[in-house]
Structure 1
Amino acid sequence: MEKIKIMGIFAHPDDEFGMAGTIVKAISLGIEISLVCATKGEAGKIRNEKQKLLKTMSISQIREEEYLAACNKLGVSRSFNLGLEDGNSKNWNEKKVISDIIDVIEKECPTQIFSFDMNGVNGHPDHKALAHIC
């Protein structure tokens, strides 16, 4: 039987929370999990005690750090970032994004891929763009 490998593809650091339960359960069953994050979250907001970090770090650095910590805590095998501009999905080069995602898929060889529904779960333009691409 083929080993199950799941890949999640999301737009922003913190979008992985939507499949956190699936990740934890899958890892408990010995399933490998890898995640692809399209952006570094630079258009996001920091609304907690980490605001003080904005004096020495960019939003994207803070969010990337949080994303990597979440991946580590959840037990994610590998994570990738496509480096797309957050909040500017209307200008993403769709052919390049598809090519970059295919490259990661070919490297990881997942048996299942999870991403957003066609409405991007909450209608966010970046989520919807990625759902269309995936």
Structure 2
Amino acid sequence: MSKPLLAGVPALLLASAALAQPAGDTRPVMVILAHPDDELPMAPALSALARAGADVRLVYATSGDAGPGVSDLEPGEALAAAREDEARCSAKALGLGAPMMLGYDDGKLADEARDTPEDDGLIARLASEIAAAGPETIITWGPDGGYGHADHRLVSAFTSQLVEAMPASERPALLYFGIRADRQAPVAELANWAKTDPALLSVRIGYDETDLAAAAAATQCHATQFDAASRAMLAPVFDQAIWQGAVDFRPAFASRGGSAD
């Protein structure tokens, strides 16, 4: 396998045009997340990657069937169906194909933690999907899970476990979403989000107004999770206070020289 699409880019602001895959290279960028709406904190980066020609594939471990969100739907199949529709709406808004919904129980991914790639569970399913796709890059939550959500942490851990077990010659780049420690969101809802030392966030995916508009449209899809006022403010708040022109990621692995691998 050739060098990953995003390899070797410490301290480099990556213009979206530079992220297009080489001609004839069809290996995807996999984005492995826990729930529909988890894509929103990185949404303009996903739009930028897709516009630059990358095959970006969203994978959700659960359908978000536990909620609670802001809808009147009870936890269960009806809510899961609604959130799956919202995930498809969001993916379309970002210029992506239909997402893969793995259908594991929302809020109960800890039940999968003792499994291995040889067992019939989420880790095995992720292993199978990664092997089938042969991704050049995988994006997921960092170990912090954004704001400590257990399902987010576990998806990060499961994905990391699988990637770090791969031979170096086959290992995709693994990127964790992060928020710079020197930036503060001006809303209480984001006060408990984890922060990362900027020195570790060595991959930055730039976006433009087209991508920001796509992120705002994707946010509007998630009506069971956020009220109208929240949907209207989420992308502008992240744009002005968190992203500021580029979404930050931390490479999971460092090369022997200490740069992004």
Q: Structure 1-normalised TM-score? A: 0.86
SS at match of 1:81: strand
Moved over 3 A (4+): 1-4
SS at match of 1:35: strand
Residue 63 (structure 1) aligns with: 83
Residue 128 (structure 1) aligns with: 153
Residue 22 (structure 1) aligns with: 45
Residue 92 (structure 1) aligns with: 112
User: Among 85, 92, 100, which residue is 1:72 paired with?
Assistant: 92
Q: Offset of 1:120 from its aligned partner?
A: 0.8
Change (3 A) 1:78 1:62: closer
SS at match of 1:103: helix
Q: Offset of 1:98 from its aligned partner?
A: 1.8
Give me the whole-angstrom Cα distance separating, in 1, the residues matched to 2:68 and 2:126: 26
Greater helix content: 1
Q: Structure 2-normalised TM-score? A: 0.46
Larger radius of gyration: 2
Higher RCO (CA < 8 A, seq sep 6+): 1
Q: Offset of 1:91 from its aligned partner?
A: 1.1
> In percent, how many aligned pairs have the same letter?
29
CA contact (8 A) 1:38 1:81 kept: yes
Q: Offset of 1:109 from its aligned partner?
A: 1.9
Does residue 103 (structure 1) correspond to residue 123 (structure 2)? The answer is no
Residue 101 (structure 2) aligns with: 81
Give me the whole-angstrom Cα distance separating, in 2, the residues matched to 1:132 and 1:4: 23
Q: CA RMSD in A?
A: 1.9
Q: Offset of 1:92 from its aligned partner?
A: 2.1
Residue 117 (structure 1) aligns with: 142
Residue 62 (structure 2) aligns with: 39
User: Among 28, 35, 42, which residue is 1:5 paired with?
Assistant: 28
- What amino acid maps onto 1:60 in structure 2? A
Residue 241 (structure 2) aligns with: none
| Number of aligned residues | 129
